[in-house]
Amino acid sequence: MSLPVIQLRPREDRRLRAGHLWVFSNEIDCQATPLTAFEPGDPVRVQSAHGRCLGVGYVNPQSLISVRLMSGDPHAVIGRELLADRLRRALAWRERIYGLPFYRLVFAEADGLPGLVCDRYGDVLVAQFTTAGMERLKDDVISALEQVVRPKSILVRNDAPSRALEGLSSYVEAALGEPPDEVTVVEGSCRFRVALGAGQKTGWFYDQRPNRARLLPYVARARVLDLFSYVGGFGIQAAAHGAHHTTLVDASERALSYARANAADNGVAAHIATIHGDAFDVLRDLRAAGLRFDVVISDPPALIKRRKDYDAGLAAYQRLNEAALAVLNEEGVLLSASCSHHLERETLSRVVAQAAIRLRRGLQFVDEGGQGPDHPVHPAIPETAYLKTVVARSLPAP
């Protein structure tokens, strides 16, 4: 059975031929193949203005990204077999890297599964469907996950705000078994309790794992400030690796109550304190009170969510990094992260460097990192390389 066709305008096939998977609405020849003929999630075949097949995928006439390709093979059938194949490949990579079953199992486009994210917590999976096309394949996805991973339960967290852009509703449901409210993640030598249904995103931020490890050489005997701590990923590992005292700051009291429980579980309750509040306000108060730290971590949520927020977001990164550097001791270490794909790595480094100049300090960059290998980067889709982290050492004025 051949799929309905979406035809591109002349020369609009270049990005797909370079390996990208998206077609934007203005690239489609709507005279030849009107988008109005399609329902969100319909499977389609994409062809160039010359009739050359570029692949098969699914369409959403309501979204700016009109088509996402699932396969370059014109005869591919988008269904359970293809999904299971992609899942097997995704699982093989994670099993090769990690000794324990705690990782992002599927990272959307980068794993050949646009619109699907799935995190693994032992025998519990948490899946997020972010596009109408993947949502329509939900039953096949769940059954392929069951077959390939054999989990006890699967929770679907379909409550990401981005679903609205695809015309999708917000809901959370158990798709298999009875997912627990809470699971324990093992990372390094620590254990973390996280909430699944009520936590942020899928419950845990696996993407920062290599950067949390990157921090550990600097924390022995240190006073640590963990800004945007969530349930303590950075700060509690710092405490467990010999930091004298760690202050965790987050705007969510619920996250901090988990952080306190996690500190107790890891035997470091006596070495941590939590401050509930806006990190920008807390930094101002700490600075005014003359408090200083040997290590500061800044891991905010994306401050530039959309391109049009770039200027305001960049200004927020500047304020944040300057305030973080201002409470750092001489010889202190700043780990500064950004998960906004709009902010380039060089720009984040420049933000930190300029903050040091404004504060009349010397600075060395000593390390840098990105998302872990369970968040692979698609070579043609720069948006998939979103997390950057720089590590800098503060010095006296040069």
Is 190 an active-site residue? no
- Between residue 263 and residue 292, which ones bind ligand SAH under the rule CB under 6 A? 278-279
Asked if 69 and 55 touch (Cβ cutoff 8 Å), the reply is yes
Nearer Cβ to ligand SAH, position 200 or 257?
A: 200
What interhelical angle do 253-265 and 233-240 show, nearest 10? 20
Residue with the closest Cβ to ligand SAH?
Answer: 233
Of 8-16, 55-63, 134-142, 243-251, the window that binds ligand SAH (rule: CB under 6 A) is 243-251
Three-point CA angle 161, 196, 194, nearest 5°:
120
Site for ligand SAH in 352-391 (CB under 6 A): none
| Selected binder of ligand SAH within 229, 237, 336, 340 (CB under 6 A) | 229
Select 22 or 234, whichever has its Cβ closest to ligand SAH.
234
Nearer CB in complex with ligand SAH: 20/305? 305
**What is the layout of strands, in order, in the sheet containing 65-71?**
5-7, 43-47, 53-59, 65-71, 22-24
Looking at beta carbons only, is 43 or 235 nearer to ligand SAH?
Answer: 235
| Cα–Cα distance measured from residue 244 to residue 270, given in angstroms and rounded to the nearest whole number | 9
- C-alpha 230/C-alpha 250 separation (Å) is 6
What 3-state DSSP class applies to 223? Answer: strand
Give, as ranges, the residues between 326 and 345 that touch ligand SAH (CB under 6 A): none
Contact between 233 and ligand SAH (CB under 6 A)? yes
**CA 367: distance to chain centroid?**
21
Number of residues that bind ligand SAH (CB under 6 A): 17
Contact status: 205 vs ligand SAH (CB under 6 A): yes
Dihedral sign, CA of 378, 380, 381, 384?
positive
Cβ closest to ligand SAH, residue 176 vs residue 256: 256
Count of beta carbons in the 10 Å neighbourhood of residue 154: 21
- In angstroms, give the least distance from the CB of 363 to ligand SAH: 22
**175 HSE (CA, 13 A, CB side):** 25
CB atoms within 10 A of CB 267: 11
Rule CB under 6 A: is residue 301 a binding residue for ligand SAH? yes
Can you tell me which residue has the tokens 């050492």? 393
Binding mask 163-202 for ligand SAH (x = CB under 6 A): -------------------------------------x--
**Residue 230 in the binding site for ligand SAH (CB under 6 A):** yes
Closest CB to ligand SAH among residues 252, 354: 252
What minimum distance in Å lies between the beta carbon of 241 and ligand SAH? 15
Helix (H, G, I), strand (E, B) or coil at 361: coil
Q: Can you say how many angstroms the Cα of residue 85 is from the centroid of all Cα atoms in its chain?
A: 24
Q: Where does this chain touch ligand SAH (CB under 6 A) — which range of 62-70, 97-105, 223-231, 371-379?
A: 223-231
Q: How far is the CB of 140 from ligand SAH (least distance, A)?
A: 31
CA 16 to chain centre: 24
Three-class SS of residue 339? coil
Contact 244, 221 (CB under 8 A): yes
DSSP secondary structure letters along 226-244:
EET-TTTHHHHHHHHTT-S
Q: Is 234 in the site for ligand SAH (CB under 6 A)?
A: yes
| Closer residue to ligand SAH (CB): 48 or 211 | 211
Which of residues 95 and 278 has its CB atom nearest to ligand SAH in the complex? 278
Cβ atoms < 10 Å from Cβ of 391: 23
In the bound complex, what is the minimum distance in angstroms from residue 257's beta carbon to ligand SAH? 12
Q: Which of 208, 247, 274, 384 binds ligand SAH (CB under 6 A)?
A: 208
Binding to ligand SAH, residues 25-84 (CB under 6 A): none
Could you tell me the two tokens for 240? 């467990």
> Which residue stretch of 81-89, 100-108, 250-258, 380-388 sits at the interface with ligand SAH (rule: CB under 6 A)?
250-258
Q: 35 with 63: CB under 8 angstroms?
A: no
Looking at 233-316, which runs of residues are DSSP E strands?
A: 245-250, 272-276, 293-298
Q: Quick check: 252 binds ligand SAH (CB under 6 A)? A: yes
| Interacting residues toward ligand SAH by CB under 6 A | 200, 205, 208, 228-230, 233-234, 249-252, 255, 278-279, 299, 301
Q: So which residues are the catalytic ones?
A: 339
